Amino acid sequence: MDGEFKNLLQAILGLELEPQFNEPYLSTSLQDFWGRRWNLMVTSILHSTVYDPVRRISTRLIDDKWAALPAVLATFAVSGVMHDIIYCYLTRAPPTWEMTSFFVLHGTCLTMELAAKRELTDGRWRLHPAVSCLLLLVFLLMSSLWLFSPPLLRGGVNEKMMREVLTFANLIKNEGIALMKILHEKTIFVFSI
């Protein structure tokens, strides 16, 4: 949440809201995108509830250098199952497991990225940020079109969402008009006294 909407919510709620995104379009790797830029609240929750416990267990079973890999896979698998559950709730349709497949694919690719960074580059060799950003964008777009979007479109989630948004907008408009009429009547009453 950025800009005016965030400021409005902060003023109404009286709370400091943490940003949910950190310029994801500037991501240069899956690690950067999922770990530091996309849906930061969910990232934080999954880190403490899935990643950290699995990493602690993995550290006892395998070398600490590689313990993060099963933790990443477990985190993405849990995220995928959560997305499929949300999908089932929204559409009242049985799960297709495409969203879980999307997240397992991303978790697998991220573990390969982490392993490659550790074994092949030693932090010295990197792609130019423009190239890595473009490659990441293509991967995100293609995998989203292949696995993430189809169940939402088949289930009509986009149409349901638009109906909800329009219903809410009409509610705000109608309630705003009613409030303005009340305020106008009160103002006339006050000035007529």
pLDDT digits (tens, 9 = 90+) for 87-100: 998 888 899 999 99
Query: Do residues 63 and 124 both lie within one domain?
Result: yes
- Among 9-13, 18-22, 47-51, 120-124, name the most confident range: 47-51
Residue 18 lies in a domain: no
- Whole-prediction pTM value? 0.79
Query: Do residues 124 and 172 both lie within one domain?
Result: no
Residues 148/80, Cβ–Cβ less than 8 Å: no
Residue 12 lies in a domain: no
CA separation for the pair 184, 179 (Å, rounded)? 8
The crossing angle, in degrees rounded to 10, of helices 98-116 and 129-143 is 160
Query: Do residues 122 and 170 both lie within one domain?
Result: no
Query: Do residues 133 and 45 both lie within one domain?
Result: yes
Is it the case that residue 1 has pLDDT exceeding 50? no
**pLDDT band per the 50, 70, 90 thresholds, residue 188:** low
The residue segments making up the domain with residue 117 are 23-155
Question: Mind listing the pLDDT tens digit for each residue in 64-118?
Answer: 889 999 999 999 999 999 999 999 988 888 999 999 999 999 999 999 999 988 8
pLDDT, averaged across the chain = 88
Residue 147 lies in a domain: yes
Residues 147/99, Cβ–Cβ less than 8 Å: yes
What pLDDT is stored for residue 71 in this prediction? 97
Q: Is 112 helix (H, G, I), strand (E, B) or coil?
A: helix
Query: Do residues 82 and 164 both lie within one domain?
Result: no
Radius of gyration of the chain from its Cα atoms, rounded to whole angstroms: 23
Two tokens, residue 166: 């329009």
Question: Mind listing the pLDDT tens digit for each residue in 2-36?
Answer: 566 777 777 777 777 788 899 999 999 999 999 99
**pLDDT band per the 50, 70, 90 thresholds, residue 193:** low
Domain count, the chain: 2
* DSSP character at residue 25: G
More confident residue, 122 or 85: 85
Residue 183 lies in a domain: yes
Query: What is the average pLDDT across 171-187?
Result: 78
Which amino acid does the sequence have at 51?
Answer: Y
